[in-house]
Amino acid sequence: MRGVSGSRAAGTARGLLNGADTAEETLRAAIERHHPALVMACSFQKEESVLIDMLMQIEPSARVFTIDTGVLFPETYAVWRKVEDRYGLRVEVVDATPPNGTPWSASSCCGRRKVDALERALEGTEAWITGIRREQSPTRADAQQVEWDESRGVWKFNPLAEWSDREVWSYVHQHDLPYHPLHDRGYESIGCAPCTLPGNGREGRWGGQDKTECGLHV
């Protein structure tokens, strides 16, 4: 579908949802249409806690991957282990660490390395699932539950696109889910340790810079 018009992609997206309205229905539609050529991207934030819980109930063999830059918070690795233990899940690791002992730098990590890692993760797939919500930042305000990812030639499902922060937390607490402990310390968005500070929305990411996205969702 590369090169399709926006209107045609939007029409096909509506057909993929086939009346799905809730996050669970959107996930089920993604699985019915694309599993096993479907993967979920996971950064172990609260949105992924919700999505993994829903996903494992619908299809326990669904694939989940994370991009490891080598500079994630220790708390990220801790909640990663808790998630795997709870669901008997093995999260696939896509390596984005500096090659050949090259020193880490934000410009290279947030540029080609993470983007290249995502493209490797999506090889051979038809669709991917993300935890994007419209409320997270102005750059995500137009996110749809399902979109055609033109640059990668796959479908992109955002089941929580319409969810508020309150709804995410309500689900987490109602289901007693493991979640990233830095959320309790003022970090609403959590990425690599050197580039993440406490803050609302995504304002804590790349603090002091005119940047809110690393390239994975643009």
**Segment holding 186, helix H or strand E:** none
**Segment holding 165, helix H or strand E:** helix 165-174
- Report the alpha-carbon distance of residue 192 to residue 203 in Å, rounded: 14
Whether 94 and 108 have beta carbons less than 8 Å apart is answered as: no
From residue 119, how far is each of 45, 98, 132, 157, 208 by CA, in Å? 21, 17, 18, 16, 29
Assigned token pair, 112: 């080609």
What lies within 8 Å, CB to CB, of 107 at 6+ separation is none
Beta bridge partners of 156: 128, 147
Q: What's 98's DSSP letter?
A: P
Assigned token pair, 19: 């009346």
**109 carries an active-site annotation:** no
Position 156, amino acid: K
Sign of the dihedral defined by the CA atoms of residues 99, 102, 103, 107, in that order: negative
Point out the residues that are catalytic.
214
